[in-house]
Amino acid sequence: MSGSKRIAIGSDHAGYELKQHLVAFLTGLGHTVDDQGTHSTESCDYPPICAGVGRTVRDGKADVGIVLGGSGQGEQLAANKVRGVRAALCNCLYTARMARAHNDANVLSMGARVVGVGLAEEIVTTFLATDFEGGRHARRVSQLTDLENEF
């Protein structure tokens, strides 16, 4: 997943400040960033924002998505409601690497009240730099897609 990426990003009010930082960080690295909101720290509902990020990825308008909230839990759940999205909650480098390498995750979720700015930058960098390994993991991702289609 190396090289310049098109990245859709969204957050609720709890993730707003980290989102703003990551938009500047990612743009500075040469990525194209589609900021889908929220645009302030005023309380808001995250499901439509995170689903929008997921739709953007699913529809091929972004290579990857990032969703942010206080814990990242609800944001991950909302993004995963979009068919074709594999959103992973990653609040450490190991889970960021495994989400890409083993699960071919296409949306990264993080908790702004869990990770600091420096760690968030490292998690995003790791997520973007890690390629899907394929092999036995491709079979498992295919099984996940089959489950998604079944229900």
pLDDT tens digits, 20-43: 999 999 999 999 999 999 999 999
pLDDT score of 16: 98
pLDDT score of 132: 97
Given a cut of 70, whether residue 127 has pLDDT beyond it is yes
82 three-class SS = coil
Q: Average pLDDT, stretch 52-65?
A: 98
Residue type for position 26: L
Mean pLDDT over the full length of the chain: 96
Q: Average pLDDT, stretch 63-79?
A: 98
pLDDT score of 121: 98
Given a cut of 60, whether residue 66 has pLDDT beyond it is yes
Cα(17)–Cα(141) distance, integer angstroms: 33
pLDDT score of 151: 87
Domain ranges of the chain: 6-150
Given a cut of 90, whether residue 2 has pLDDT beyond it is no
Element (H, E) at 65: strand 64-69
Given a cut of 80, whether residue 53 has pLDDT beyond it is yes
Name the burial class of residue 143, with classes exposed (0-12), middle (13-18) and buried (19+) by CB atoms within 10 angstroms of its CB: exposed
102 part of the active site: yes
Per annotation, catalytic residue among 13, 21, 31, 102: 102
pLDDT score of 1: 56
Taking every pair of C-alpha atoms in the chain, what is the biggest distance, in angstroms?
Answer: 45
Q: What is the CATH number of domain 6-150?
A: 3.40.1400.10
Quick one: pLDDT band at residue 3, thresholds 50, 70, 90? confident
94 three-class SS = helix
